[in-house]
Amino acid sequence: MERLFLKKGLPMKRYVVRRLLMAIPLLLAISFVCFCFINLIPSNPAEVALRVQQTPVITEEIIAAMEEQLGLNKPFFVRYFDWVLGCLHGDFGISYVNPKRTVAGELLRCLPATLQLAGTSFVIVAVLSIPIGFLCAVYKDGWFDRIMRGLVFVTTAMPAYWVGLLLMWGIGVKLNWLPTNGNGTWRHLILPSFTVALSYISTYIRLIRNNMLENMKQDYVLYANVRGLPQKSILVRHILKNSMHTCIVAMGMSIPQLISGTIVVENVFSWPGLGTLCISSIFNRDYPVIQTYVLLIGVLFVLFNLLFDILQTVSDPRLRKED
């Protein structure tokens, strides 16, 4: 039995190893593009760092000393490999705005606020999209389905910053129900998290509805009706369950999109997360922070794509490719 189990597990292990090996070149390509980003800027990074630090007099000697301090006097590929090795050890350099602070420290300082906002938005997406999508499929072409499809069409076309400003003006300013900026209490979290979640809610309502309508045409539904199973059991335990497989994978892969998508909303609501840090770094020309933020988002997309691809293959044997 042990030999049989190992024999069956080998194709899956080979698939996981193959996917991990395929992800390594992609991660290296992302890191290379991020590193090239700071080297393609029109101005000298050493001079930018001196100006950000408000150095009164900038001379060639001071620029040369700053280049040596930042390691910019080394060859390109030497600097790239040094930077990659530093990233693997959690060293992303120092901030130009405040040389006493590291880039990793700045990211860790703002990361909890972004994770809180993205996590709350993810919960809102799951809680609202699943029952609404289910009801739209059950009452297809009914008044509820028509109203929700109209709302989905409208909200999908609305940009997040505009939705945020409308909510801020209507609920925060006119009605004075919720605060419009900061992150002091849980009440500060409602408006920005709903703004981030709104476009994803529309997407997953449509996805769940279409998947359920497609599954309703399958033979197993006809067989369940012939067996005389209750209609509620067929809808929930069979149709919804099979329809949620693709949706769960899509929701999991949207987690890095939620994290990266908060950049606009955070600035609209003055939420002190990674998005606000990134925008302030762009205005202050704090290139190491921008470079690391882009790298972080790229790595998150690759890792979550890899993780849920493997989970989907584990849960659905039809997707496995044996060698």
Kindly write down the DSSP assignment for every residue of 70-114, as one continuous string. Answer: HTTTS-HHHHHHHHHHHHHTT---B-SS-TTSBHHHHHHHHHHHH
* Rounded (5°) CA angle 54-58-63: 105
Residue 175 domain-assigned? yes
pLDDT tens, the chain, 323 aa long: 334 333 445 566 776 777 777 778 888 888 888 888 777 776 666 766 777 666 666 667 777 777 677 667 777 788 888 888 888 888 887 777 777 778 888 888 888 888 888 888 888 888 888 888 888 888 887 888 788 888 877 777 777 777 778 887 888 777 778 777 767 777 888 888 888 888 788 888 888 888 888 877 777 777 777 777 777 777 777 777 777 777 777 777 778 877 877 788 888 887 888 888 888 888 877 778 888 888 888 888 888 888 877 776 666 555 555 44
Residue 239 and residue 307 share a domain:
yes
Instruction: Return the CATH number at 126.
Output: 1.10.3720.10
Residue 194 and residue 122 share a domain:
yes
Residue 187 and residue 60 share a domain:
no
Task: Domain count for the chain, please give it.
Answer: 2
Note the pLDDT tens digit of each residue in 161-187: 777 788 878 887 777 787 777 677 778
Of 74, 89, 104, the last residue of a domain is 89
Residue 126 domain-assigned? yes
Residue 179 and residue 270 share a domain:
yes
Residues spanned by the domain of 60: 34-89
Residue 161 and residue 221 share a domain:
yes
Burial bucket for residue 56 (CB in 10 Å: 0-12, 13-18, 19+): exposed
DSSP 44: -
By the 8 A CB rule, do 90 and 103 touch?
no
Residue 309 and residue 217 share a domain:
yes
Residue 24 domain-assigned? no
